[in-house]
Amino acid sequence: MTWLEGTVIENRHWSEALFSLRVTGPRLSFQAGQFVRIALDIGAERIARPFSFVNPPDDPVLEFYGIVVPEGPLSPRLERLCAGDRLYVASNPAGFLVLSEVPQAQTLWLVSTGTGIAPYLSILRTEAPWQRFRNVVLVHAVRFSRELVYQDLIGKIQNPGFKYVTFVSREPHPGSLAGRIPAAMRDGRLEAAAGVALSAATSHVMLCGNPQMLKDAAAALAQRGMRKHRRRAPGHITVESFW
């Protein structure tokens, strides 16, 4: 493992538990949607965890979106970093939640919970989704409305084929659906909110988020005749989980 040193230029706090780090220094080659391990030296040990890139590949400033795990060894320390502090970034980005692995479809569904939105923000800031798909639907489910992050970035997307659907589960929020994504896939509320059909004939669905959502959403999609995509057996569902 080769570690590169980066310098924090901004730590944006979205809430008491959510933060985004912007980092300069290392220049990495990666595809939008991939992740990399970032680390700090804690005592005599270098502690690392995977974080998806929020920035597109052509942006020299790296950006990572994270949540504080209170008992975790790394995230509480990352959340406290200030401009000028140093951290380490691994030299080997990885992951298959990338459009180069996705077959052709009319509609691309980017479905996420919590910090799982991060890789999609990178993808949406490249040309590929707009060149390849008639419709692009970004779905983000959170507990509270204050966790609907990056509204400034999302609001700048003006493509007529872009749809943005949000879920807020623990409080009423105007314009957002209630409940969980898999249930809304089953009862048709997700399609109605997006104004786009969710079907094996027209759609490819990328899933990123908590493991229960991934499992339940894949099951709901299977009921619609959709199956996981593999290189040797093309399908309709691409899943990323590094929890």
d(CA 22, CA 78): 11
| Average confidence score pLDDT of the chain | 96
CA 206 to chain centroid, in Å, comes to 10
Q: What per-residue confidence (pLDDT) applies to 5?
A: 97
Mean local confidence (pLDDT), 79-88: 98
Q: pLDDT tens-digit profile of 28-50?
A: 999 999 999 999 999 999 999 99
**Where residue 243 falls among pLDDT bands split at 50, 70, 90?**
low
Q: pLDDT tens-digit profile of 137-151?
A: 999 999 999 999 999
Q: pLDDT tens-digit profile of 204-222?
A: 999 999 999 999 999 999 9
**Where residue 26 falls among pLDDT bands split at 50, 70, 90?**
confident
Q: What per-residue confidence (pLDDT) applies to 232?
A: 86
- DSSP class of residue 59 equals -
Report pTM.
0.96
pLDDT at 242 over 70: no
Full strand arrangement of the beta sheet holding 18-24: 45-52, 35-42, 86-90, 3-13, 18-24, 62-67
The full set of domains in the chain, from first to last, is 3-90 (2.40.30.10), 99-240 (3.40.50.80)
Strand partners, 88: 5, 39
Q: pLDDT tens-digit profile of 180-206?
A: 999 999 999 999 999 999 999 999 999
pLDDT at 132 over 80: yes
Q: What per-residue confidence (pLDDT) applies to 197?
A: 96
